[in-house]
Amino acid sequence: MYKRAAWLAAIMLLAANSVFATNPPPVQWERQFASYDTWVVHMSETHDSGLVAAGMATDTSMELSKLYLLRMDGHGNTLWQKTLSMRSQTGSGFAGLVQQTRDGGFIVSGGESARTFVLKTDSLGNQLWKTAAGFERGRTGAYVEQTQDGGYVFMRTGFRHDSLFLLKLDSPGSVVWRRSWKAALRRGYEWISPSLELHQTSDGGYVIAADSLRRTDSLGNRLWSRKYSDVWMLHSVQETPDHGFVATGTARAPWPLGYTKPYNMVLLKANSSGVLQWMRVFTDGKASKGNCVALTRDGGFLLAGTVQGGNVRGRVVRTDPQGNPIWVKTLDEPSELDQVLQTSDGGYLLNEGDIYFCKLAPEE
C-alpha cells in the first residue's frame, strides 16, 4: 500500500547559498526573558489582535515553579501577567498551551509534577475551574482547545509515551467522555520528542498528529489512522480549505539520501481520507525536524522547526500551496523553534518555546 512513489516525495535542499524567490521579512520586534526564572512554552493571538502566552515562572524563595500567564498587546508589551500556584505550598506547576475562549477568558493545559489538568480562567487570568486530566511524564504531549459546542477537548500522551488519551469536557469542565489508543510515540533518537497536536475538524470530528495521522468522529471514535512511508513522527497538523490535512514532523529523506539523512523536516498533504497527495522533505545535510505548521492567507504554509549542526537553531520555512519553499529563515542564536503562526496583520509570530519570541513584519 505504501510503495515508494517518486512523484509524491521531493527533496528540498535548504543550503546556505540557496536562492529563493523572496527574502524573509525583517524582525518587527522581539522579546527575551531571563533564562533562570521565566519560560514561555506556547503563545496564541487574542480577539483584539494582542497575544497571550503560557509557561512557567520560578519562585526562587520557595524553589518551585508556578503556572505563568502573560497577556500582551500586538507589539509584545505587557498588559498583565499572572502566576498560579497549583498545589498550595508544594509541588511545581507549568502551562503547556493557552488559547482565548469565546467568552474572552482563557483555556490552559498544564501540569503539576506528573499530573496534567485543564484550567479555565477569566479575561484577567483568574482561575475559574480546574479539571484533572491524568498522568503524563514530562511537559510535552498535552493539548487543549475549545470545541464547536462550547466545551473543550484535551489530549495527552501516556506516562511512558506508549498511548494517547482524549478527554472531552463540557463548558463547566465536567468530563463528557474519555478515549485511549496505543501509540508508538518514541521512535529513533530521544531528540524526536512526542510533542503532538489535536484539532477539531469542520465536521465536528478530530484530527491528531502523532505516530500517524489519526482521524476520529465527534465522540472520539477512531475513523482511520494513516502511516506514511519514511515518516518517523508527526508533530503538528491543520485542516486545509479543501477538508484535507497538512502536517509536519520528522522523516527520512527519499532514497538514496535517506540512508545518511534519517531525520529531516517534512511537510505532507493528505486528502480528507488521509491519502497522501504530496510530501516535501527539507534538508541541508543536517538533522532537522518540523514542530509546527500553520496556514497562510494565500493558501501556502509556514513551518517552524529545529536544525542541528554544532548548535541547535530554529528554522522557519515559508512555502507555496504545493509545499515549494518561497523563503527560509534560520535564527542566528542557538534555539529551538517550537511554534509559528500568522497574525491578523499578515505578520508572523515565532516562539522559541523557552525564553525568546519575535514578530516578523508582514510580507510586502
Q: What pLDDT digit, counting tens, does each position of 131-180 carry? A: 988 765 444 457 899 999 999 999 987 656 678 889 999 999 999 999 99
Task: Please return the burial class of 138, using the count of CB atoms within 10 Å of its CB with bins 0-12, 13-18 and 19+.
Answer: middle
Q: Is the pTM higher than 0.85?
A: yes
DSSP 54: E
Residue 320 lies in a domain: yes
Q: Are residues 16 and 101 in the same domain?
A: no
Structural domain total, the chain:
2
Q: Any bridge partners for residue 53, and if so which? A: 43, 70
Q: Are residues 1 and 60 in the same domain?
A: no
* Residue 237 structural domain: 1-32+228-364
Q: Which residue has the higher pLDDT, 82 or 4?
A: 82
Map residue 318 onto helix, strand or coil.
Answer: strand
Q: Are residues 235 and 137 in the same domain?
A: no
Q: What pLDDT digit, counting tens, does each position of 301-334 carry? A: 999 998 887 788 889 999 999 999 999 998 877 6
Q: Are residues 47 and 24 in the same domain?
A: no
Residue 86 lies in a domain: yes
Of 52-61, 64-73, 112-121, 166-175, which one has max mean pLDDT?
166-175
- Look at residues 142, 170, 192 and tell me which one is the last residue of a structural domain: 192
Domain containing residue 89: CATH number: 2.120.10.30
Residue 280 lies in a domain: yes
pLDDT for residue 181: 86
Residue 16 lies in a domain: yes
Kindly state the average pLDDT of the residues 284-291: 86
Q: Are residues 104 and 173 in the same domain?
A: yes
Kindly state the average pLDDT of the residues 181-205: 72
Is residue 88 pLDDT above 50, yes or no?
Answer: no
Place of cell 502536517: 247
Contacts of 114 (CB under 8 A, 6+ apart): 135, 136, 137, 159
Q: Are residues 68 and 12 in the same domain?
A: no
The pairing of beta strand 276-283 with beta strand 9-13: parallel
Residues 17, 70: Cα–Cα separation, whole Å: 39
Q: Are residues 28 and 108 in the same domain?
A: no
329 in Cβ contact with 2 (< 8 Å): no
Q: Are residues 150 and 241 in the same domain?
A: no
Q: Any bridge partners for residue 222, and if so which? A: 216
Q: Are residues 251 and 336 in the same domain?
A: yes
Q: Concatenate the DSSP letters of all residues of 107-140 into one string.
A: EEEEEETTEEEEEEE-TTS-EEEEEEEEE-SSS-
Of 30-39, 135-144, 152-161, 200-209, which one has max mean pLDDT?
200-209
Is residue 265 pLDDT above 80, yes or no?
Answer: yes
Residues 268, 213: Cα–Cα separation, whole Å: 11
- Look at residues 165, 192, 219 and tell me which one is the last residue of a structural domain: 192
Q: Are residues 139 and 237 in the same domain?
A: no
Q: Are residues 23 and 58 in the same domain?
A: no
Cell, residue 209: 498528529
Residues 262, 8: Cα–Cα separation, whole Å: 18
Q: Which residue has the higher pLDDT, 15 or 224?
A: 224
Residues 5, 103: Cα–Cα separation, whole Å: 48
Residue type, 301: F
Q: Are residues 162 and 253 in the same domain?
A: no
- Look at residues 145, 172, 192 and tell me which one is the last residue of a structural domain: 192
In this structure, of 80-84, 88-92, 307-311, the range with the lowest mean pLDDT score is 88-92
Residues 58, 65: Cα–Cα separation, whole Å: 4
Question: CA torsion sign, 25 to 28 to 34 to 40?
Answer: negative
Cell, residue 142: 498535552
Residue 71 lies in a domain: yes
Residue 187 lies in a domain: yes
Local confidence band at 190 (pLDDT 50, 70, 90 cut-offs): very low
Is residue 193 pLDDT above 70, yes or no?
Answer: no
Residue 123 lies in a domain: yes
Q: Which residue has the higher pLDDT, 201 or 156?
A: 201
pLDDT for residue 13: 58
Residue 127 lies in a domain: yes
Residues 61, 236: Cα–Cα separation, whole Å: 37
Half-sphere exposure of 52 (CA within 13 A, CB side): 25
Cell, residue 86: 497549583
What is the residue-averaged pLDDT of the chain?
84
Residues 326, 348: Cα–Cα separation, whole Å: 15
